[in-house]
Structure 1
Amino acid sequence: MTKDKDFEIFLATVPGLESVLCAEVRLKGFCQPVAVPGGVVIRGGWPEVWRANLWVRGTSRVLARIASFPVVHLSQLDKSAGRVPWQTILRPDIAFRVEASCTASRVYHAGAAAERIGKAITRTLGATQAEDAPVLVRARIEQNICTLSVDTSGELLHRRGYKQAINRAPLRETMAALFLRQCGYNGQEPVLDPMCGSGTFVIEAAEIAARLNPGRARQFAFELLATFDAQAWQTMRAVKSARTPAFHFYGSDRDAGAITMSRANAERAGVQDYATFTQATISTLRPPPGPAGLVIANPPYGTRIGDKQSLLPLYRALGQTLLTHFAGWRVGIVTTEARLAHATGLPFLPPQAPVPHGGLRVSLYQTAPLPEA
Structure 2
Amino acid sequence: MTDDPFEIFLVATPGLEAPLAAEARDLGWAPEIGPGGVTIRGGWADVRRANLMLRGATRVLARIGQFRALHLAQLDKRARRFPWGDLLRPDLPVKVEATCRASRIYHAGAAAQRIERAITEELGAPIAADAGIVIKVRIEDDLVTISLDTTGESLHKRGHKQAVAKAPMRETMAAMFLREMGFDGSQPVLDPMCGSGTFVIEAAEIAAGLAPGRSRGFAFESLSNFDAADWRNMRDMGAVRTPPVQFFGSDRDAGAVRMSAANAERAGVADWTRFACHPLADLPRPDGPAGMVIVNPPYGARVGNKGPLFGLHTVMGEVFRDRLSGWRVGIVTSEAGLARATGLPFQAPGPIVAHGGLKVRLWQTGPL
* TM-score over 0.5 (shorter chain): yes
Q: Aligned AA for 2:341?
A: A
Q: Indicate the SS of the match to 2:77.
A: helix
2:2 maps to 1:7? no
Q: How far did residue 240 of structure 1 move?
A: 2.8
**Aligned equivalent of 1:198:** 196
Q: Output the CA distance in 2 between the equivalents of 1:312 and 1:169.
A: 19
Structure 1 length-normalised TM? 0.97
Match of 1:71 in 2: 69
| Match for residue 238 of structure 2 among 237, 240, 250 | 240
Q: Which runs of 5+ in 2 are unaligned?
A: none
- The question of whether the paired residues in 2 share the 8 Å contact of 1:301 and 1:307 is answered with no
Name the counterpart of 1:29: 28
The equivalent position to 1:271 in structure 2, one of 253, 269, 272, is 269
- Name the counterpart of 2:224: 226
The one-letter code of the counterpart of 2:185 is: G
Query: 2:211 maps to which residue?
Result: 213
Q: For the Cα contact (< 8 Å) 2:300–2:335, is it kept in 1?
A: no
- The alignment yields a C-alpha RMSD, in angstroms, of 1.1
| 1:257 equivalent in structure 2 | 255
Q: Which runs of 5+ in 1 are unaligned?
A: none
Task: Report percent identity of matched pairs.
Answer: 60
Range 42-51 or range 303-312, more displaced: 303-312
Q: Which residue of 1 aligns with 2:46?
A: 48
The 8 Å contact of residues 18 and 39 in structure 1, kept in 2 or not, is answered as yes
Return 262-271 or 120-129, whichever deviates more.
Answer: 120-129
SS in 2 for 1:244: coil
Question: Is the 1:139–1:149 contact (alpha carbons within 8 Å) kept by the matching residues of 2?
Answer: yes
Residue by residue, what CA displacement relative to the aligned partner does 1:276-319 show, whole Å, maximum 9, x if unpaired?
00001111112211110000000011317853223111111111
Amino acid at match of 1:342: R
The aligned amino acid for 2:150 is T
Larger mean Cα displacement after TM superposition, 4-13 or 254-263: 4-13
**TM-score normalised according to structure 2 size:** 0.98
- Contact preservation (8 Å) 2:103, 2:139: yes
Question: SS of the counterpart of 1:303?
Answer: helix
Instruction: Give the CA deviation at 1:121.
Output: 1.2
Would you identify which runs of 4 or more consecutive aligned residues in structure 1 move more than 6 Å?
Answer: none
Partner secondary structure for residue 301 of structure 2: coil
Provide the secondary structure at the position in 2 that maps to 1:48. helix
Q: Deviations over 1:131-163 (max 9, x none)?
A: 111100001112221110000000000000111
For 1:233 and 1:105, the matched residues in 2 are separated by 39
Q: Distance in 1 between matches of 2:132 and 2:305?
A: 40
> For residue 319 of structure 1, what is the aligned residue in structure 2?
317
Aligned residue type for 1:20 = P
Q: Deviations over 1:232-263 (max 9, x none)?
A: 11111111321010000000000000000000
